[in-house]
Structure formats: structure tokens, C-alpha cells
């Protein structure tokens, strides 16, 4: 038994972490361009630099449900370092990078289009031709190497102007502005792109950096409304792809993060069920079934939240059901009804420590079997084709004196996950379209803004302060992954 012959093998990136050229070619500022670098090991958070309503300049920790004062406007402080500005400069290295991907045997490359390259302010009357031309060149390069682009329409970036002028996704107008952007890119690239995804990790939209900076937890009504708008935006995008590029497939993208109950105590199982629904399943349910699930409607009712709807919204959600589910899988976590006094689990989301699993240097539990469980759960529940669009180990790499980078730890992580992925396909019969591990060419970490947390098969000479030649070199995992792809996953 083997993986399907047309299985998509590749790697994944995102514009705000990889592209750089933050003001080149007419690009406008995105909120992500106002977020500083942090340090995950030393516990230094990333900050969003803002001016408060009275003009005072300050830094606010970026993160889940952060509190952002009304009237705060993000800005770029000339004296600070922002890792998205140069990132690892795909903007000027795309030919070299795509050639390296081709050398590994990629037939798929997941990347995102930067909204602010196409509409620099988000609400411009006309798109920016230079930005459109840039992605034409990227897709042509992919085509030259027989690589299918898998394109995320929105990966953690929102034009800064939309946050300032409209309050980001809290404002319904942004749905139409997003739809205009989607219509522009799908029309332009319909002959070059056959796989689309709407919002990256849509269950992280609560993070204000994605929504516009006014949707924090301080106002649950406003936050719920913003999430509703994002879901409508995704549904519009799905409809546009179906209309403008009927042969293309359009998916959703979720951060899966498998949750286990701490014990067989029904209290723990119940706590886990509620956590999973709120954090993840709600977004899957809406995008795969075309309506808000009852548990969410009841929750909104209990909280006294009334979504402001317009006629046609329900039909739009129903028509916006996705063709496939893309998801990221890095780790699992443990949910306890009474976590007090327990050690924390140390992944992006906290939780309780899992004593059965080892962790990465950044404290993320390593759980390959969780990937098989995840694939089965998603397939059993939704019966939609799946794509693993992110997976991988963030680790610090050492360049030896002879230039070698012996990242055996990364190979071990990926091998163990691919084994489980194959088991889900070959043993369980899950319908899996492809595998694009994260950060195939080193790029900036989203969570910490560091360069030293690397995922790639290709090393990029760049440090946490933005110093480095940006030269590319192949790691040991480069040769290993090449062999894996050449054997369609048989030679691990």
C-alpha cells in the first residue's frame, strides 16, 4: 500500500514571515509590519507598537485576547526592529528558493499573497499592478518547475489602514473590501493557481493583529461580530473561487492542536469538549457545514451577544462550504477541569503537562500519533479531503565549521509524523491530498518573531536582530526530504 500517485509533497510559508520587501513595489503597511521580535525561550513577548488616543507612544504585548485601548493606532517606530520588514527576503530570492524546492522534488508550494501588496491600503480603488506582477512571476516560476502553488489568501495580515479607518474586521465594510481583493487575485491567477485557502488558522483570528486592533476580549460583542465577519468573508471567498475558477479547489485552514482530557473523570472530558468547541470545532463546523452550530448559538445567547446580521447572510454561509480542510498540526495539549497546581503543558495554548510526551526546545509537546488521531477525527466528522499544510519542528540549528547543518532532530520529528500520516491513509483510509511541512526555507517565527526558531530544510543566514547575508544553504534534512518525496513516502 502506498500514498496516492498524485500526492502533493511540498512545504509551506507565509508572506509576512518570509517575503520581506515590506514597502517595495508599492506595498502598503500591514498590522504585522508593526509587530516587534520577541524571544520564546527567554519569555520576551512580541509587541505591537501603538500610539494611544492621546498621542502617547507605547508597546502592547501581542497575543490572544490582548486588551487594546479604544483609539490605539499601530505604527512603525524607526528605532525598533520589526522582523517582517526583511524576513528572509523571498521577495528578492524567489527564483533561487523555488529552484531549491524543485531540487527537493516539491510538486506543491504553500505560500500566501500579501493583501497589502495588492491593495496597499485595503480600500484602494484600483489594485497595485506591481504587486500583482510580483505574484505572476512567482507562479510562473512555480509552473516552470511543475510546482502547484497552494495559496492562502490571508495569513495573519490585515492592511493597517483598515484597522485605523474602519476598526478592522469589526466593521462589516471590510468583508466587501476583502471580497474585492479575493476577486482580483482569483481573476488574475485563475490559470496559475488551482488550490486556494481562505484564512490561515482561522481559529486564531481572535488575536487582534489579524482582526484589526479593536477586537479584543474587552468587548465580547464586538469580538463575536468580528469573527462573524471573518466567517462571512471566508464564505464569500469560497463562492468567488467557485464562480471564477470552477476547476480550482478552495479550502479552509485550522490550527488543529489535538486536545486530550486529563483523565477519564467526566469533568475532564467535559472540560476538553468545551475547550475544543470554543477554540477549534466551531470554525470547522461553520466552514464545513455552512451554519453556526447549536452549541455556539446557545453560548452567544447565554452571553447576551446578538450578532448583527443582514438578509442573505445565512444563505451566504451555506453557500460558502469549503472543498477541503487544510490544517496545521504541531502538537497536542491536555485539558483538565481543575488545572490548578498542575504543571503547564508548554505549547501555544497552555494546558496541563502531558507526562508521556517529550517537548521541543520551545516546550511544544511532540506527539506523532496525535497526527493520525487528528486525521481520523477530521475525516470521520466531515468526510472532506484533508491537507496537512503545516507540521514541523522549530529548533535552533548549528552551522558546523565545514558548513554542514546536521539537523537529525528535525528528520526524526518529520519521519515520525509522516509514518503516522501514512498509517492514517493506508490503514484507516483517510482521504489526504498532501503534506506541506512548515517553513521549508527558514523564516521568521510567527509566535516569537525569532529567526533562531527554525523549521526549514534550507538554512537562511539571518539572526534575530536582522543581521546576516541571507545566503541559503542545504541542511541534512534537505537531502532526506528529497529522498522521501522521490519514493512517495516509502523511504523514510
* Residue in the block written with cell 500500500: 1
Which grid cell sits at 366?
Answer: 511532540
Q: In this structure, what are the phi and psi dihedrals at residue 153, rounded to the nearest 5 degrees?
A: -75, -35
Residue 311 C-beta: closest distance to ligand BG6, Å: 34
Distance CA 123, CA 271 (A): 42
16, 83 contact by CB (below 8 A): no
Residue 221 C-beta: closest distance to ligand BG6, Å: 27
- 390 as an active site residue: the answer is yes
Distance CA 57, CA 46 (A): 16
Residue 294 C-beta: closest distance to ligand BG6, Å: 29
Residue 206 C-beta: closest distance to ligand BG6, Å: 13
Taking Cα atoms as reference points, which of 21, 13, 201, 196 lies closest to residue 106?
13
Residue 228 C-beta: closest distance to ligand BG6, Å: 22
By C-beta, is 120 or 326 nearer to ligand BG6? 326
Residue 229 C-beta: closest distance to ligand BG6, Å: 21
By C-beta, is 156 or 166 nearer to ligand BG6? 156
Residues that bind ligand BG6 (CB under 6 A): 14, 17, 200-201, 255, 328, 390, 394, 438, 445-448, 453
Residue nearest to ligand BG6 (CB): 447
By C-beta, is 447 or 466 nearer to ligand BG6? 447
Active-site hit among 201, 299, 361, 450: 201
Q: Is 395 exposed, middle or buried (0-12, 13-18, 19+ CB in 10 A)?
A: middle
Distance CA 436, CA 88 (A): 19
Distance CA 147, CA 145 (A): 5
Distance CA 350, CA 399 (A): 32
By C-beta, is 164 or 227 nearer to ligand BG6? 227
Half-sphere exposure of 6 (CA within 13 A, CB side): 3
Taking Cα atoms as reference points, which of 386, 474, 477 lies closest to residue 428?
386
- 274 as an active site residue: the answer is no
Active-site hit among 19, 148, 390, 450: 390
For every residue of 425-462, DSSP letters joined together read HHTT---EEEE--BTSB----TTT--SSSB--SEEE--
By C-beta, is 116 or 128 nearer to ligand BG6? 116
By C-beta, is 212 or 394 nearer to ligand BG6? 394
Distance of CA 31 to the CA centre of its chain: 15
> Could you list the active site residues?
201, 390
Amino acid at each position: 500500500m502506498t500514498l496516492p500517485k498524485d500526492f502533493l509533497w511540498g512545504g509551506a510559508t507565509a508572506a509576512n514571515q518570509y517575503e520581506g520587501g515590506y514597502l517595495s513595489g508599492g506595498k502598503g503597511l500591514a498590522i504585522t509590519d508593526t509587530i516587534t521580535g520577541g524571544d520564546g525561550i527567554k519569555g520576551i513577548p512580541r509587541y505591537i507598537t501603538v500610539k494611544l488616543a492621546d498621542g502617547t507612544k507605547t508597546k502592547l504585548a501581542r497575543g490572544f485576547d490582548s486588551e487594546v485601548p479604544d483609539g490605539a493606532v499601530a505604527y512603525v517606530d524607526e528605532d525598533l526592529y520589526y522582523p517582517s520588514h526583511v524576513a528572509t527576503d523571498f521577495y528578492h530570492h524567489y527564483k533561487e528558493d523555488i529552484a531549491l524546492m524543485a531540487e527537493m522534488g516539491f510538486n506543491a508550494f504553500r505560500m500566501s499573497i500579501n493583501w497589502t501588496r495588492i491593495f496597499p491600503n485595503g480600500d484602494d480603488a484600483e489594485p497595485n499592478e506591481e504587486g500583482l506582477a510580483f505574484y505572476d512571476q512567482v507562479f510562473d516560476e512555480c509552473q516552470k518547475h511543475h510546482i502547484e502553488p497552494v495559496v492562502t489568501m490571508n495569513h495573519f495580515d490585515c492592511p493597517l489602514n483598515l484597522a485605523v479607518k474602519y476598526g478592522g474586521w469589526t466593521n462589516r465594510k471590510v468583508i466587501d473590501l476583502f471580497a474585492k481583493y479575493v476577486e482580483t487575485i482569483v481573476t488574475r491567477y485563475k490559470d496559475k493557481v488551482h488550490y486556494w485557502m481562505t484564512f490561515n488558522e482561522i481559529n486564531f483570528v481572535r488575536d487582534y493583529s489579524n482582526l484589526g486592533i479593536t477586537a479584543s476580549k474587552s468587548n465580547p460583542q464586538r469580538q463575536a461580530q468580528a469573527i462573524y465577519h471573518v466567517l462571512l468573508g471566508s464564505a464569500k471567498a469560497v463562492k468567488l473561487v467557485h464562480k471564477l475558477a470552477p476547476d480550482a479547489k478552495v479550502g479552509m485552514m485550522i490550527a488543529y492542536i489535538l486536545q486530550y482530557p486529563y483523565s477519564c473523570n467526566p469533568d475532564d472530558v467535559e472540560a476538553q469538549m468545551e475547550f475544543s468547541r470554543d477554540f477549534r470545532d466551531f470554525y470547522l463546523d461553520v466552514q464545513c457545514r455552512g451554519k453556526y452550530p447549536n452549541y455556539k448559538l446557545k453560548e452567544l445567547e447565554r452571553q447576551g451577544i446578538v450578532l448583527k446580521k443582514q438578509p442573505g447572510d445565512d444563505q451566504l454561509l451555506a453557500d460558502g462550504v469549503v472543498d477541503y480542510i487544510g490544517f496545521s498540526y504541531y502538537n497536542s495539549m491536555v485539558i483538565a477541569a481543575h488545572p490548578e497546581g498542575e504543571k503547564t503543558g508548554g505549547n501555544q495554548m497552555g494546558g496541563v503537562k502531558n507526562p508521556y510526551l517529550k517537548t521541543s526546545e520551545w516546550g511544544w509537546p511532540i506527539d506523532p500519533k496525535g497526527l493520525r488521531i487528528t486525521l481520523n477525527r477530521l475525516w470521520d466528522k466531515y468526510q472532506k479531503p484533508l491537507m496537512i499544510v503545516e507540521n514541523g519542528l522549530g529548533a535552533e540549528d548549528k552551522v558546523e565549521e565545514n558548513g554542514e547543518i546536521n539537523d537529525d532532530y528535525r528528520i526524526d520529528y518529520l519521519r515520525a509524523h509522516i509514518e503516522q500520516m501514512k498509517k492514517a491513509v493506508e490503514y484507516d483510509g483517510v482521504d489526504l491530498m498532501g503534506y506541506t511541512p512548515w517553513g521549508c526555507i527558514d523564516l521568521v517565527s510567527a509566535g516569537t518573531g525569532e529567526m533562531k526558531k527554525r523549521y526549514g530544510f534550507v538554512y537562511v543566514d539571518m539572526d534575530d536582530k536582522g543581521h546576516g547575508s541571507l545566503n541559503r544553504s542545504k541542511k541534512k534534512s534537505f537531502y532526506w526530504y528529497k529522498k522521501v518525496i522521490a519514493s512517495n513516502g516509502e523511504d523514510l
